Amino acid sequence: MASLIPYYFSVGKEEEIFSHAYSNKIPLLLKGPTGTGKSRFIEYMAHKLEKKLITIACHEETSSTDLIGRYIIKGAETIWVDGPMTTAVKEGAIIYLDEIAEARPDVIVAIHSLTDHRRELFIDKLGITVKAHEDFMLVASFNPGYQRGFKELKPSTKQRFSALSFNYPETKQEIEILINETGVDAENAKKLVAIGSKIRNLTELGLTETVSTRLLVNAATLIKSGLPKRLSTHIAIVEPLTDDLQTVQSLKDLCDLMI
């Protein structure tokens, strides 16, 4: 049975851009704050193009070995096991390195030859080079995090990709997303999006990351499920944003007024 197409609301020309990048074998960097639909978009595009998607959530321990592969001991034998990058390169899947800047620097080195005309992966432990399958594509995401606490990506790495920016959708689009994604009624969707925009504009709060569509989707889901509206906004929107007690209280008051 064919799996259901993931729901994704296009906010601009991203589908067209992705399709052209894919057919021209140009690696793509999805830039933008967390919760703005980057992962959903790639799931949707992989589905649309009927390609297998392999997603790696990069973190500070993610190394090239994790991606390329390693020898493991099985019984009395030592056998080689391909990592997800090697599998994607061989099978022609789309590999999505989520939050690539978090990974160890050797990951960036390992993808170099995949991001230029060579389109090949060097497996140093085997001493071989694997040519990428025709259908292989490399996609990575990166959160530019204009504020503190985020890792940067070197310009020389960024320039190996074409890049597509993601941001919070416009009001009308975001209302549509909440309704489609959660089944919440239009009135509550509107109020949640208004809360989102209001908090996004409160730059003086100095939040590391502000309200994402994901947080609004979570609040809408809880409201739809029957949790009281105010409580839903408190736990889905306010609490994940900050631990500063005063800010928490003033944001809760704001939500109470607006929902």
What DSSP string runs through 111-134? HGGGSSTT-EEEETTTTEEEEPPT
- Give the residue at shortest CB distance from ligand ADP: 37
If the CB atoms of residues 69 and 169 are measured against ligand ADP, the closer one turns out to be 169
Q: Is 34 in the site for ligand ADP (CB under 6 A)?
A: yes
Residue 9 CB, nearest approach to ligand ADP (Å): 4
Task: Tell me which H or E stretch contains 199.
Answer: helix 186-201
Q: Which stretch binds ligand ADP (CB under 6 A): 8-16, 79-87, 112-120, 123-131?
A: 8-16
Asked if residue 36 binds ligand ADP (CB under 6 A), the reply is yes
The residue range among 15-23, 37-45, 120-128, 201-209 that interacts with ligand ADP, by the rule CB under 6 A, is 37-45
Encoded tokens for 219: 């609040």
Q: How far, in Å, CA of 219 to CA of 223, rounded?
A: 6
Residue 84 beta carbon to ligand ADP: minimum distance, rounded to whole angstroms:
18
Question: How far is Cα 68 from Cα 62, in angstroms, rounded to an integer?
Answer: 11
Decide if residue 37 touches ligand ADP (CB under 6 A).
Answer: yes
Please say which residue, 40 or 119, places its beta carbon nearer to ligand ADP: 40
Our finding on whether 39 is near ligand ADP (CB under 6 A) is yes
Of 188, 213, 232, 233, the one binding ligand ADP (CB under 6 A) is 213
> Smaller CB distance to ligand ADP: residue 125 or 183?
183
Nearer to ligand ADP, 123 or 223 (CB): 223
- Per CB under 6 A, 170 contacts ligand ADP: no
DSSP state letters, 135-163: T-EEEEEE---SSTT-----HHHHTTSEE
Strands, DSSP E only, in the chain?
Answer: 28-31, 53-57, 69-74, 77-82, 94-98, 120-123, 128-131, 137-142, 162-165
Give me the amino acid identity at 86: T
For residue 38, state whether it binds ligand ADP (rule: CB under 6 A).
Answer: yes
Q: Cβ 222 to ligand ADP, closest distance in Å?
A: 13
Q: Is 7 in the site for ligand ADP (CB under 6 A)?
A: yes
Query: Could you say whether residue 8 binds ligand ADP (CB under 6 A)?
Result: yes
- Type of residue at 46: A
* Total site size for ligand ADP, rule CB under 6 A: 17
Q: Which stretch binds ligand ADP (CB under 6 A): 33-41, 72-80, 157-165, 243-251?
A: 33-41
HSE of 150, CA atoms in CB hemisphere, 13 A: 18
> One-letter amino acid identity for 139?
V
Calculated CA dihedral for residues 224, 225, 231, 234, nearest 10 degrees: -70
Q: Tokens standing for 61?
A: 């321990």
Which residues of the chain form contacts with ligand ADP (CB under 6 A)? 7-9, 11, 34-40, 166, 177, 181, 213-214, 217
